[in-house]
Amino acid sequence: MTNKTAAIRYARALLDVALKAKVLLNPAVPVPRKRAAVGELLARARLSPILSKLLALLADRDRLVLLPDLLAAYRDRLLDYRRVVRAEVTTAGTIDARRVQAIQSSLAKVTGRTVTMAAKVDPSIIGGVVARIGSTVYDGSVTRQLERMKERLT
C-alpha cells in the first residue's frame, strides 16, 4: 500500500468519525440512535459512573448540545468552590515571573481568593496594569490616569 492510499484511508476514517460526532447534535437523528451511540462511546471510554450517567441522561433527553456550556458552567462552579478566581491582566509590555507573582498576590489580597492569571500585552495602555476579574475591572494604567487628570483639569 502506498503512503497516499494509506493517507486517503485515514482521511476517510477521520471524516467518518467527525460526521458521527455531529450526528449526536443533529435534531433530525432519533434519540434512541443517539442514546445507543453514546452508550457505545461510554463503554469504550470507561468514564466515571457519574459522568457516564450524565452523558446518558443528556442523550436520552436530546440535550447533548448543552455539553460545551455545561462544561464551562461546571468549571466556573468548581473554581468558585475552591475559592479560585481567574484574572485577565493586561500590561504595556511583557512582565517577568517576579512581577506576575506580585500582581497575583495583590489581587489575592483584594479578592480574598486564590488568583490564576492570564497575561496579555497591550502597548496602548502606555504603562501600569489593567486587571479584569469577572465583571470587575481594576484599571491602574497610565492611559486611565491621564484621562483622570484631563477630567480634573477641564
Q: Per CATH, the architecture of 83-153 is what? A: 3-Layer(aba) Sandwich (3.40)
Residue 61 CA, chain-centre distance (Å), reads 25
Residue 110 pLDDT greater than 70, yes or no: yes
In the three-class reduction of DSSP (H, G, I as helix; E, B as strand; rest coil), residue 94 is classed as coil
Q: HSE (CB half, 13 Å, CA atoms) of 79?
A: 16
In the three-class reduction of DSSP (H, G, I as helix; E, B as strand; rest coil), residue 122 is classed as coil
Amino acid 14: pLDDT: 52
Residues facing 116 on adjacent strands: 86
| Strand segments (E) across the chain | 84-91, 114-121, 128-133, 136-141
The three three-digit cell numbers of residue 129, written as one number: 496594569
Domain boundaries, the chain: 3-77, 83-153
pLDDT digits (tens, 9 = 90+) for 65-84: 888 898 889 999 999 999 99
Q: How confident is the model at residue 105 (pLDDT cuts 50, 70, 90)?
A: very high
DSSP states of 26-48: -TTS-HHHHHHHHHHHHHHHT--
| DSSP at 113 | S
